[in-house]
Amino acid sequence: MTSKPKVAFIGTGGTIASIGTGPLDILDYGANETVLHADMLAARVPELALVADVRPVPFRNVPSHHIFFPDWKELVWLCERLATEEPDLAGIVIGHGTASLEETAWFLSLTLKIPLPVVLVGAQRPASALSTDANMNLLNAVRVAASPAARGLGVLAVLNDEIHAAREVTKTSTFRLQTFRSPDFGALGHADGDAVTFYRRPVRKTAPDTEFDVRFLDALPRVDIAYAYTGSDGAAVRAFVDAGARGIVSAGFAPGFPGVADEAVLRDAVAKGVIVVQSTRAGSGRTFAGTRATKNGFLIADNLNPQKARLLLALALTVTSDPAEIRRIFATY
């Protein structure tokens, strides 16, 4: 008899673990203040036992719009401990709220030091809802984490039967089940009823072979995002600099320009030693190192959205403050 693959399941809360007041409570369920821990959520999906030996791992429930570096650092340590203590582990699944799932996935994909597949999963409807997507999403995440084909792809996100790379995936809709998309390149593969299938591999560098090690850091360098809009007068950028920002991501007008007043203040920030990275608010597509950006001393985010560019810049600043090196890092990851 062939044994099933062993998969660890870490729960951090989120919609996938939430219980509303009834089956039609699909929006305001957070007011019920009932969120299941990993063991309780896994118990609601007995079908998990059909595909893997799932081991729930205690953590804590954190609203995803609250999650940040201390939680991410703890998850890095926890994943490493699990990989060390259980050498027969096939993969790890992390349940997560969808609001910041893409940021946690991207951060872990840059900082984990284990070769195991790590899959983030969430849901758009709470576990108690009529036609919830929580159960199937969790089952598929376990299947993907257990798949040998998932190794070497970095951290993955699995929702709505689709497998996405952490670098590329983003939440695109508030309520729709198909909210997670990879705008420029699409999904890596699918978790269908008969098989987990992959059709492409990311080529950018990813965990565990990265130059970032956050396990012994106390905090990340401060990096803020300046969002472009007509009529902006640079006040936000000045406030970020005054608050001690070491880096600023400019979420500019497509294809990647700040407003005129913001541009002048960002240029002054560069003169003060602040690293400015030009991204775009468009939601997809590359920024480019044109004459304007180069003259201002701005680096480019490539096709990273502003929130992901912010995290890569913060991690880059943990290893260097040299603009040329940070330019290399953005071209590498």
The share of the chain scoring above pLDDT 90, in percent, equals: 99
* Closest of 279, 277, 281, 274 to residue 240, by C-alpha: 274
Predicted local distance difference test score (pLDDT) of residue 164: 98
**Same domain flag for 38 and 155:** yes
Range of the domain at 30: 6-198
Q: Are residues 102 and 30 in the same domain?
A: yes
Based on the domain organization, do 153 and 85 belong to the same domain?
yes
Is 218 domain-assigned?
no
Residue 263 lies in a domain: yes
pLDDT at 85: 97
Does 278 fall in a domain? yes
Give the mean pLDDT of 69-91. Answer: 97
Question: Is residue 207 one of the residues assigned to a domain?
Answer: no
Q: What's the mean pLDDT in 62-71?
A: 96
Domain count, the chain: 2
Residue 189 has pLDDT above 70, yes or no: yes
What does the pLDDT average to over 64-86?
Answer: 97
pLDDT band at 179 (very low <50, low <70, confident <90, very high): very high
Would residue 12 count as lying in a domain?
yes
For residue 2, the model assigns a pLDDT of: 66
Quick check: is 151 in a domain?
yes
Find the catalytic residue in 15, 170, 206, 210.
15
The verdict on 191 and 132 lying in the same domain is yes
- Asked if 97 and 30 sit in the same domain, the reply is yes
pLDDT at 279: 98
pLDDT of res. 197:
98
Final residue belonging to a domain, choices 198, 214, 242? 198
Give the per-residue pLDDT at 99: 97
Query: Where a domain ends, among 164, 181, 198?
Result: 198
Asked whether residue 164 falls in the same domain as residue 63, the answer is: yes
Any catalytic annotation for residue 15? Answer: yes
Residue 235 has pLDDT above 80, yes or no: yes
Q: Is residue 312 part of a domain?
A: yes
Task: For residue range 69-78, list pLDDT tens digits in order.
Answer: 999 999 999 9
190 & 229 share domain: no
Reading the block at residue 125, the tokens are 């409807």
Q: Are residues 44 and 187 in the same domain?
A: yes
- pLDDT tens digits, 3-47: 899 999 999 999 999 999 999 999 999 999 999 999 999 999 999
For residues 186 and 228, membership in a common domain is answered with: no
Residue 274 and residue 308 share a domain: yes
pLDDT tens, 144-167? Answer: 999 999 999 999 999 999 999 999
Q: Is the pLDDT of residue 231 over 60?
A: yes
Query: Which domain-ending residue is among 163, 198, 233?
Result: 198
Residues 195-210 have pLDDT tens digits of 999 999 999 999 999 9
The answer on 186 and 250 residing in a single domain is: no
Domain-embedded: residue 233 = yes
Q: Given a cut of 60, is residue 170 above it in pLDDT?
A: yes
Given a cut of 70, is residue 126 above it in pLDDT?
A: yes
The pLDDT value recorded for residue 1 is 54
